[in-house]
Copies of this chain bind each other. A is one copy, B any other.
């Protein structure tokens, strides 16, 4: 398998998809059917995923595809070559802001991440990675993340997890928020992952993400030294939804040990 060739294919396909989204989007801005914004995004989402499916099947019909919109294959195993695709991550941002949404794509072989992409469509900013060969921002090498202490960290976390909720011990997250330098929340997992792998955020966590939200990011994370797991510290389950934490390597374990306590887990351990 020629990963370099597949990488070029993926980059071209993603950039072309981005152009399509920007065009649909600016056209829509002109006609301004805000009432139908939800239909619009569904249509664009599906159109872009269909575009990926067609291109990938042209490249190699044996490749399987797992996409948010379900235009690809039914996936019960990670065996063989598998593309995991989110054509628009940050749907609400897409509708309401016309920015802060991403295309993200991961290419896995037998469950091992080979290629990863995080594309900020409106900024035209593509982060890409090839397993073992580094990560790139618009084809310029990205550096490994610099270590830092938890007190200096800026964390991506949504307020929903900081208030009482049935999934995670919010008291510990309150302590986290009082400890770190600051928090941010952008409404797109792929965008927050992109900020972490470029050192613009130091961690991001969420209680429920799908494989297509994070697959591309996992490959990139490895290349810059970011650590990505579920909130139990285990590998993210790419065949279902899971919790998620990506962080600068110097604070990943600190976050798990001192600030994250899943409520389910607590009940199981009693």
Q: With an 8 A cutoff between CB atoms, is A195 at the interface? A: yes
- Residues from chain B with Cβ under 8 Å of A200 in the complex: 96-99
* Bound form: Cα–Cα A183–B184 in Å: 10
- Is A80 on the interface with B (CB-CB < 8 A)? no
Residue A62 lies at the interface, judged by CB distance under 8 Å to chain B: no
Whether A157 pairs with B159 at a CB distance below 8 angstroms is yes
Does A263 lie at the interface of the complex (its beta carbon under 8 Å from any beta carbon of B)? no
Residues of B within 8 A of A123 (CB): 123
The A68-96 residues at the B interface (CB cut-off 8 A) are 92, 96
Q: Is the CB of A183 within 8 A of B185?
A: yes
Q: Does residue A177 face the partner (Cβ distance < 8 Å to B)?
A: yes
Residues of B within 8 A of A163 (CB): 162, 174, 177-178
Query: Contact: A183 with B159, CB < 8 Å?
Result: yes
Q: How far, in whole Å, are A123 and B164 apart by their CA atoms in the complex?
A: 37
Contacts of A98 on B, CB cut-off 8 Å?
200
Hey, which chain B residues are within 8 Å of A241, CB to CB? none
Residues of B within 8 A of A146 (CB): 34
Q: 6 tightest CB-CB pairs across the interface, nearest first?
A: A97-B200, A163-B174, A185-B185, A159-B183, A159-B162, A159-B177
